[in-house]
Amino acid sequence: MIVDKVKSWLSSIKIKHKLLALFLIVAIIPIIISATVSYKFVAVNMKQQLLANIDGDINKISYIVNEKISIYEDLIADIAYNTDLNILLNTRTTENEEALQRFVENIISTSLEKKSEFINIQIRYDGEKSSEIEQICTKDKNLKSTVWRIGEKRIIIYKNVLDIYTYKNIGNILITLDAEKFFGEYYALSYEGYGLYVSDERNQETFSIWNSKEDTVRPKLNNILNAEDNIVKFLNKKYVVMESNALDNSWKVSSLVNYDVISSRINPLIQMMIMIFLGCIVFAVVVSFVSSGYLSKRINNLLASIQNLDTDSEFNEENITDEIGKLSAGIKYIMLERENLQADMYLSEIKLKESQFKALQSQINPHFLYNTLDKINWCAILSDNMEISDMAKWLSNFYRTALNKGDIITSIKNEIVNVESYIQLQQVMHGNSFQVEYDLDEAYFEYEIVNLVLQPIVENALEHGIDKSIG
């Protein structure tokens, strides 16, 4: 019952409104789907791209910092394994202390003086106290590796000097650097809502940058190191934590950016996309109105023309309420009239076509074709283009034997000439990609057969044997 009502309602709607609804559905639904998918795709990719750009900048700067770390690691190692220094630290005398002072001054002047972050270098005998040494834990003093520590915005690089024979501690080296200048390249990262933390192997903060005009309180390092799914929630705000980068001295660089900042970068593009999609929807609506009006007008004009033909007809169709139904009735009326005429003229029309075909076949005169091909042949010879000349001759032979002066019966020799000409043309078309061997008995050449018996067989062999294998 409901289906019948729906059908009745649909049949009563004008064709213009049907077309308009169809066009709008077909046009707007794909636009909405495309807009939704594009929004999600662009938002995700823009976020990933922004984070990748920040991470790339961090990696570039971390590379520079690693170069500094490598320089100081190599420098302090060269000093620690210097044989002259080993001799000076093994025996503590006034003369050796003065020589040690000159040794330090030489290092400063040759390797450290021009480095902006350099503050001081100390080389001390084993057991000699200093405030910097107290900052290095006892277990670190027994290590052969270089120890990096930071305190009061100063970086301390510590390394023991071992006797080259007994491997006992005979002294230590301390290089003091300005942390702000050492990590100064990281200040070039000017992203709003961005934070960077440098932590040592004990996960203690050694350096940090916080670039946010709105958020004066920054998340703690522990929040970043313990972040779940790379997300930190702090003071009702969400931060995206990027993958940590390890420095060559076992320190680690961690960074995060405010999620609102990422959204603010994406929003202009999203707004532009929304404007584009809204423009597409408006365009689709306008085109739908114009198209539906144009098509319905043509249908109405056609309907008016058909109605003029069926004024005396008894053909009627019930429940016709829209233009399509009326058009259907008119077309059916015309078809009935046409069938009546066809029933009377069918046999006579077939006979007329047969007679016309036979008359046309008997009137075919191939002389124009042969003369044209002969002219092409001579032009090719005069142009010294024997390939075109050969093709013209083969094509002339092919049509001469194919037409056979209108006779159905031909000799085997003519049939062979027809096939050979056809194969020669096909070899040119296929770039001589196949070869043909002929095994013929000329004693049968004068026998007669039906014209064009062999050529379709050869054509079928070329199409299904060579063309498909190449394709």
DSSP 91: S
DSSP 219: P
Could you count the other beta carbons within 10 Å of the beta carbon of residue 306?
Answer: 18
Please count the CA atoms within 13 angstroms of the CA of 446 that sit on its side-chain side. Answer: 1
The kind and range of the H/E element at 437 are none
List the pLDDT tens digit at each of the 471 positions of the chain.
Answer: 676 666 666 566 666 666 667 767 777 787 778 777 777 777 777 777 777 777 787 788 888 888 888 999 899 989 988 888 898 888 888 898 889 899 988 988 888 888 888 999 988 888 776 555 555 544 454 556 788 887 778 888 888 888 888 888 888 899 999 988 888 888 777 677 777 888 877 777 777 777 766 666 667 767 676 666 677 776 677 777 776 677 877 888 877 777 777 777 677 777 777 788 788 778 777 777 777 776 677 667 656 656 655 544 444 444 555 555 565 666 666 767 767 776 667 666 656 655 554 554 455 556 777 778 788 888 888 888 888 888 888 888 888 887 777 677 888 888 888 888 888 888 888 888 888 888 888 888 888 888 878 888 888 888 877 766 665
Which two three-digit tokens encode residue 376?
């092409």
User: What pLDDT is stored for residue 138 in this prediction?
Assistant: 44
SS (H, E, C) 151-199: ECCEEEEEEEEECCCCCCEEEEEEEEEEHHHHCHHHHHCCCCCEEEEEE
* Cα–Cα distance for residue pair 123/89, rounded to 1 Å: 9
- Kindly give, in sequence order, each residue whose CB lies less than 8 Å from that of residue 155, ignoring residues fewer than 6 positions away: 117, 148, 149, 176, 177, 178, 179, 182, 206
* 3-state class (DSSP) for residue 86: helix
* 3-state class (DSSP) for residue 436: coil
CB 358 within 8 A of CB 378: no
- Kindly give, in sequence order, each residue whose CB lies less than 8 Å from that of residue 164, ignoring residues fewer than 6 positions away: 81, 83, 86
Nearest to 66 by CA among 252, 251, 197, 247: 247
* Cα–Cα distance for residue pair 183/186, rounded to 1 Å: 6
CB 425 within 8 A of CB 397: no
Alpha-carbon distances, residue 455 vs 173, 415, 419 (angstroms): 99, 8, 6
Long-range contacts of 401-408 (CB under 8 A, 24+ apart): 402/451, 402/452, 402/455, 403/364, 403/366, 404/451, 406/361, 406/362, 406/364, 407/451, 408/450, 408/451
109-151 pLDDT per residue, tens: 888 888 888 999 988 888 776 555 555 544 454 556 788 887 7
